[in-house]
Amino acid sequence: MSIIRPFRADDLFKFNNINLDIWTETYGLGFYFNYLSRWPDMCSTAQHPNGRLMGYVIGKAEGSSHDFHGHVTALTVAPEYRRLSLARTLMNFLETVSDEVYGGLFVDLYVRCTNAIAIDLYEGLGYSVYRRVREYYGSLGLGPGGKDEEDAFDMRKPLVRPNGRDMIVSAHDVS
Amino acid sequence: MSTLALERQIRPIYDSLDSGSHKSALLACNKLLKKHPKNDHLKALKALALTRAQKFEEAIALCEEVLATKPTDDGAINALMHALRHLGRFADLVKLFEDAFKQQPDNDELGRQAFFANVRAGNWKAAQLLANKLNKQFHNDRYIFWGIMCTVLQANDPMTTAEMREILLKLAHRLITTSWKPAEVHADRLYLFVTILQQLGLYKDARELLNTESGRFHCARNLSCDYLRRDIMRAGDWQREEAETAEQRILSKRDRNWLEFVSILDATFLPSALPNETTCESNSSSPSSFLQRVEKTRDLFTKVAEEDGSHERAAWLGLMELERRCGVHGIVSEPSRLLDLLKRYFRIFGDKAACFEDLRPYTDLGSDVLADWLAFLEGITHSPPSNTALSRFINAHKLLRHGLSVAQLTPDQEEIRAADLVRGYFEALPLEKDLPNLELQPADDLAVLAGQVYANAFTLDNAAAHLHKAIVVLEYASKKSPQSYQIHLELVRIYRLLGAPQLALDHYRLLNVKQIQNDTLSYLILSRSTNFSLAATGDLTYASECLESSHIYFSNSQETSEFIVKAFSMEKYSQISELVVFEERLDNSLQRDLVKIEHVRLRISHEPITPELVDMELIELKFIFDRLHHDNRDLEVLPNYQPRGQLSFLSQTTLFGREPATGWLSAFLKIYIKTLSEASDLDPSVEDDKLLIGDRPRQCCSPDASIPLMERLTIQTTEELSELTENELALFHYVNDLTDWLDPFHNFLRPQGESPKQAPKNGQSSNDGVPSDGNGKKLEDAPPITEPPDSILSYFKNAHAKFTGAVEGRRPFYEILHIATLTQEALLLFFICTKRFKDASIVRINKLGVLAQHIKSLRSSAADVVGQIGAQLINISELEGTADKRRQFIEHCEALQTHTEITHEYVLEVGKRLTESQRKVLEGVGRGIERIRKTPM
């Protein structure tokens, strides 16, 4: 039981219960407004009927004609609202818009190679590892997971046709 | 030199600016300017370099110089644009581009930039006219829509009258109707059209538009359009039709958005559909048809719920909401129906963390079934241990607590409950003992709950022992789950209540609050921070925290308007109004100015009171006074687990039981504006130019803005008075009496020459207290000297009596500190207000010797009182942080040591840190007072 509605600028005043969680970054105003002023239809918030925000997804459409696709920039659910399939609902929303509004060929996202829970979730939603991006999270340095901590998987889900996989590229080659 | 050669020399300046080497950029500009002293591009670049190097005064002067030449050179315009944007001079930006566009009317790009400049400045009318002009000249559809959007923004501007709003909306309506091309509709244009119709109340037209092929297409794919469609259906009273759509979405598209269920419920309980026995309106339906509708909805939700099972919560909660609404409308239902639903829901979803929040609104049960429900919850245990069982156990405890009656809330019973929760916490911890420390322990909520139970016990009997136990448990939990923000937040609140500000700040910092969160969360630590600040001793922790938390407002004024511009250029009309409102809300944030006033309060306690400080703060505070504030503070960030009808945890842990708001702010602004006005020589007519950064803030349409400021300062509203503590109110009256007494003498001595004093520049003093006519003598005589009102001295005496009473009555440290810091503040305000009369020559020339004598004697008595308070604080501090206090702390927490995890050493450590923090603040404030008392002002 959640309200699925557009992500709005004033959600920034209320998203603390989501963003105070360690895994969710709070960016500068420009980050959110860049998405809202360009792809507002790819941003959505889940809200509890009591008014508390539960999670949100922020995405964009990018690429040139042959690889035009939807991209999940941020997907997050507050700790107290996890295990309610909210991530699945928000991802479904983004996939539908990527497909039906933007005519994207696939949806992609980056995930830390060590984040097994997230990878499982995305695999369950039909995403698969397309390539490994070296040092994508390099700024944090090597954690206990070694290289896995720094590298990201670029995961994709085809909307129209499948793509190849199992390539390794450097961080410079991705946007 | 050829243009090409000059360009080649200019390029490195850009490189320097890009790499942040402002100094080398400046040097290069100066060097080239020697050869090309009239080159606008170079001057604009120099202005930009100066801005980046924070040399604002020079930058502004240079910007104005270039502006005056009305540059048309692309390079000059761009550089100047960046400089002006950095300086927040949006009005100048408008001028820059409008002048350039006038000179090159065929330049589409310049026209667009002139439009954007107006958008940045919020000049909707000018922007609209410009958009029309652009459309006429360059024939582009988007310019028509830009103009329409600006018309709507102008209509909704708070300064627009109701009549004008109507006219503007009708104009927008006419424009959009004539330029509407159904075949080329995109979602945001549709959104704009529908909002215009909505604001004009033309719901039928709006519905028709949404029902067109493109309307349906966009509503099915664009959340903003669909959300707006729901509003239209509600406003137009078409809930029945909306319910049909919702039913279809639920059944055929498996849509489980709660809004669909609400649509069906709203239609079921439409006011016109309710059987109304008292009014018997003709359109109200018969009881039987109404009940049939309820039954139909119930059947639908039951069917969906059974199908969904544990996959979706919506239909289950829909069923409970149906029962709740039946109850509200007095429809007799099976009493056990809701109870059965609650139990069933708990069985299915009890392992979800959200279960408590989901069920809370439905647990106001009648006495007949309440006992059954509570017995059901009490039967929930967490054995055999598993994460699922633990979640159920936690949810059961939250629900049980929510249902407690007032009679069950005694300190002893709360202690027993807290002990149970703590036991549950330690029993559950081994479940995830190997969890990486970035993850949250599933048992965390038990510690969080225990913290709230202890806080409630403290509210009931004021015994600090409860809070001591709370911090022992929570500190332990925070080590096990270092990333739990709820645990840190509870500790922040409890440490403040215990008068241990450093520990509160430590936990606050662990939250890593940043960006916009500074506006919404800094109240947790900065509210009344003067109470705990050691600024007077040179410890600027809180003062710098205030400054850091205020950066976001600068980012807002720099960045948000850029994205409003971007939304225009991307034609995302659905976002523009929201971004405009956001910018306004953050710009006029209540927390922004609460922090500002705290910063001023801290500043005067550690900085010398120079004329520059007085003037600059006065100007800023006067601007703030006219703001219409928005309260953006997130007061819901901490979940509340206190029983229904009781104060929330946040309220219980708010110092003095009330959080400062607009009334408090207004009262403190009056205190400071009055005091600083007395000390300042600024002429109000020249103040507007003094804000070096940015344009003059837009003034609100406050109903009494027409009354002169000084008159408004004398008005006291009940809102203000109700938000102040007793001691703050005393300070408020004290300042009134002090300034009333001294005002005639200040006015007499204040220079009143023909040319008003200019703003202070580069720290030079403009306030020397000497009258301006050359020999410093005014023609008229000094006003007759009056005795100081008794209330001034009695303020200090009363404060001392209250302080002693609080110490002897063993009141909480924050209360004792409150009296002490306010009395210190009163003395500082006295210094500021009487500084003018310290100059012996002025006093002698103006024959104000008697007045100076009064002031001197008052000052000495007040300083004596303040000094005694300071000394007493130091004395008390010596009793804190001692072995005795630590022993006491350990005794309070003895019961907790039955858990093997809570060792004696651990409790001792927590107690040591607490008492040490308390000692430090008591001693620090005491020493600060000592310093201030001795400072020659």
The pLDDT tens digits of the residues spanning B880-902 come to: 888 999 999 999 999 999 999 99
Range name among B2-6, B374-378, B449-453 with the lowest pLDDT average: B2-6
Nearest CA in chain A to B441: A79
Share of chain B above pLDDT 70, in %: 93
Whether residue B259 and residue A38 make contact (CB cut-off 8 A), yes or no, is no
Residues of A in contact with B261 (CB under 8 A): 1
Distance from CA of B203 to the nearest CA of A (A): 22
Cβ neighbours around B540 below 10 Å, total: 16
Whether residue A13 and residue B520 make contact (CB cut-off 8 A), yes or no, is yes
Which structure tokens are listed for B229?
Answer: 């469609």
Q: Count the domains in chain B.
A: 2
User: What CATH number is given to the structural domain containing A65?
Assistant: 3.40.630.30
Residues of A in contact with B230 (CB under 8 A): none
Residue A154, phi then psi, degrees to nearest 5: -90, 110
At B777 the pLDDT is: 45
Residues of A in contact with B521 (CB under 8 A): 16
Separation CA B853–CA B837 (nearest Å)? 10
Nearest CA in chain A to B218: A101
> Helix axis angle, B335-349 relative to B314-328, nearest 10°?
160
- Residue B224 forms part of a structural domain: no
Whether residue A30 and residue B559 make contact (CB cut-off 8 A), yes or no, is yes
Q: What are the start-end ranges of the H helices in B19-140?
A: 22-35, 40-52, 56-68, 74-87, 90-103, 108-120, 124-138
Q: Are residues A33 and A100 located together in one domain of the fold?
A: yes
Q: Are residues A68 and A97 located together in one domain of the fold?
A: yes
Separation CA B816–CA B812 (nearest Å)? 7
Is B520 an 8 Å CB contact of chain A? yes
Collect all residues with Cβ–Cβ distance below 8 Å to B776 and sequence separation of at least 6.
B770, B842, B845
User: What CATH number is given to the structural domain containing B192?
Assistant: 1.25.40.1040
Separation CA B874–CA B891 (nearest Å)? 26
Of B314, B556, B567, the CB nearest to A29: B556
Q: Are residues A98 and A117 located together in one domain of the fold?
A: no
Residues of A in contact with B514 (CB under 8 A): 26
Among A104, A137, A156, which residue terminates a domain?
A104
Q: For an interface test with A, which of B189, B225, B486, B515 has the most A Cβ atoms less than 10 Å from its Cβ?
A: B515
Nearest CA in chain B to A52: B636
At B479 the pLDDT is: 94
Among B residues 146-205, those touching chain A with beta carbons less than 8 Å apart: 187-188
Share of chain B above pLDDT 90, in %: 78
Query: Three-state DSSP class for B87?
Result: helix
A93, A102, A92: which is closest to A38 by C-alpha? Answer: A102
DSSP 8-state secondary structure symbol assigned to residue B558: I
Residues of B in contact with A28 (CB under 8 A): 515, 555, 559
Distance from CA of A21 to the nearest CA of B (A): 7
Residues of A in contact with B483 (CB under 8 A): 21-22
Whether residue A1 and residue B637 make contact (CB cut-off 8 A), yes or no, is no
Whether residue B354 and residue A48 make contact (CB cut-off 8 A), yes or no, is yes
Residues of A in contact with B317 (CB under 8 A): 1, 49
Residues of B in contact with A20 (CB under 8 A): 485, 511, 517, 637
Q: Is the pLDDT reported for residue A28 higher than 80?
A: yes
Q: Are residues A120 and A94 located together in one domain of the fold?
A: no
- Residue B858 forms part of a structural domain: no
Q: What is the mean pLDDT of chain B?
A: 91
- Residue B820 forms part of a structural domain: no
Tokens 């850091």 correspond to what residue?
B548
Distance from CA of A103 to the nearest CA of B (A): 12
Residue B264, phi then psi, degrees to nearest 5: -65, -40
Residues of B in contact with A12 (CB under 8 A): 516, 582
Q: pLDDT-derived band of residue B279, with 50, 70 and 90 as boundaries?
A: very low
Asked if residues B100 and B114 have their Cβ atoms less than 8 Å apart, the reply is yes
Mean pLDDT of B7-11: 88
Asked if residues B559 and A33 have their Cβ atoms less than 8 Å apart, the reply is yes
Distance from CA of A165 to the nearest CA of B (A): 30
Nearest CA in chain B to A95: B221
Asked if residues B725 and B818 have their Cβ atoms less than 8 Å apart, the reply is yes
Is B510 an 8 Å CB contact of chain A? no
Q: Is the pLDDT reported for residue B283 higher than 60?
A: no
Q: pLDDT-derived band of residue B281, with 50, 70 and 90 as boundaries?
A: very low
Of B314, B485, B637, the CB nearest to A21: B485
Q: Are residues A65 and A20 located together in one domain of the fold?
A: yes
- Helix (H), strand (E) at residue A72: strand A69-77
Whether residue A40 and residue B257 make contact (CB cut-off 8 A), yes or no, is no
Is B362 an 8 Å CB contact of chain A? no
Cα separations in angstroms, B721 against A136, B662, B727, B733, B829: 56, 11, 11, 10, 20
Q: Are residues A95 and A119 located together in one domain of the fold?
A: no
Which structure tokens are listed for B649?
Answer: 């945890």
Among A61, A82, A104, which residue terminates a domain?
A104
At B617 the pLDDT is: 94
Of B221, B224, B636, the CB nearest to A101: B221
Asked if residues B471 and B431 have their Cβ atoms less than 8 Å apart, the reply is no
At A29 the pLDDT is: 97
CA B448 to chain centre: 25
- Residue B463 forms part of a structural domain: no
B814, B811, B527: which is closest to B664 by C-alpha? Answer: B527
Among B residues 274-333, those touching chain A with beta carbons less than 8 Å apart: 311-314, 316-318
Residues of A in contact with B563 (CB under 8 A): 29-30, 33-34, 36-37
Collect all residues with Cβ–Cβ distance below 8 Å to B911 and sequence separation of at least 6.
B468, B885, B886, B889, B890, B893
Collect all residues with Cβ–Cβ distance below 8 Å to B536 and sequence separation of at least 6.
B605, B606, B824, B925, B927, B928, B929, B931, B932
Amino acid at B576: I
Separation CA B475–CA B487 (nearest Å)? 8
Mean pLDDT of B616-633: 92
- Residue B136 forms part of a structural domain: yes
Q: Which domain holds residue A8?
A: 1-104
Q: Count the domains in chain A.
A: 2
Among B residues 475-504, those touching chain A with beta carbons less than 8 Å apart: 483, 485
Q: Are residues A93 and A127 located together in one domain of the fold?
A: no
Residues of B in contact with A96 (CB under 8 A): 221
In chain A, % helix, strand, coil (3-state, to 5) comes to: 35, 30, 35
Q: Are residues A4 and A48 located together in one domain of the fold?
A: yes
Q: Is the pLDDT reported for residue B284 higher than 80?
A: no
Collect all residues with Cβ–Cβ distance below 8 Å to B750 and sequence separation of at least 6.
B681, B771
Whether residue B223 and residue A85 make contact (CB cut-off 8 A), yes or no, is no
At B773 the pLDDT is: 43
Is B587 an 8 Å CB contact of chain A? no
Mean pLDDT of B432-437: 77
- Residue B786 forms part of a structural domain: no
At A59 the pLDDT is: 98
HSE value, Cβ hemisphere, 13 Å, CA-based, for A158? 8
Could you report how far apart the first and last alpha carbons of chain B are, in Å? Answer: 60
Q: pLDDT-derived band of residue B282, with 50, 70 and 90 as boundaries?
A: very low
Q: Are residues A99 and A122 located together in one domain of the fold?
A: no
Distance from CA of B252 to the nearest CA of A (A): 16
Mean pLDDT of A47-69: 94
Q: Which domain holds residue B32?
A: 3-203
Distance from CA of B246 to the nearest CA of A (A): 13
Kindly indicate whether the ipTM for this predicted assembly is greater than 0.85, answering yes or no.
Answer: yes
Higher pLDDT, B241 or B701: B241
At B88 the pLDDT is: 85
Whether residue A14 and residue B556 make contact (CB cut-off 8 A), yes or no, is no
Cβ neighbours around B332 below 10 Å, total: 7
Residue-wise pLDDT tens digits, B792-834: 999 999 999 999 999 999 999 999 999 999 999 999 999 999 9
Among B203, B227, B251, which residue terminates a domain?
B203
Range name among B240-244, B469-473, B781-785, B904-908 with the lowest pLDDT average: B781-785
Q: pLDDT-derived band of residue B707, with 50, 70 and 90 as boundaries?
A: confident
Q: Is the pLDDT reported for residue B758 higher than 50?
A: no
Whether residue B634 and residue A16 make contact (CB cut-off 8 A), yes or no, is yes
Q: pLDDT-derived band of residue B769, with 50, 70 and 90 as boundaries?
A: very low
Residues of A in contact with B517 (CB under 8 A): 16, 19-20, 26
Q: Are residues A122 and A90 located together in one domain of the fold?
A: no
Residues of A in contact with B554 (CB under 8 A): none
At B937 the pLDDT is: 58
Is B425 an 8 Å CB contact of chain A? no
Whether residue A13 and residue B516 make contact (CB cut-off 8 A), yes or no, is yes
Q: pLDDT-derived band of residue B494, with 50, 70 and 90 as boundaries?
A: very high
At B626 the pLDDT is: 85
Amino acid at B823: T
Whether residue A26 and residue B358 make contact (CB cut-off 8 A), yes or no, is no
Whether residue B485 and residue A30 make contact (CB cut-off 8 A), yes or no, is no
- Residue B80 forms part of a structural domain: yes
Q: Is the pLDDT reported for residue B111 higher than 70?
A: yes
Q: For an interface test with B, which of A32, A33, A54 has the most B Cβ atoms less than 10 Å from its Cβ?
A: A33
Asked if residues B653 and B499 have their Cβ atoms less than 8 Å apart, the reply is no
Amino acid at B787: E
Q: For an interface test with B, which of A37, A76, A102 has the most B Cβ atoms less than 10 Å from its Cβ?
A: A37
- Residue B533 forms part of a structural domain: yes
Q: pLDDT-derived band of residue B755, with 50, 70 and 90 as boundaries?
A: very low
Q: Are residues A117 and A88 located together in one domain of the fold?
A: no
Q: Are residues A44 and A98 located together in one domain of the fold?
A: yes
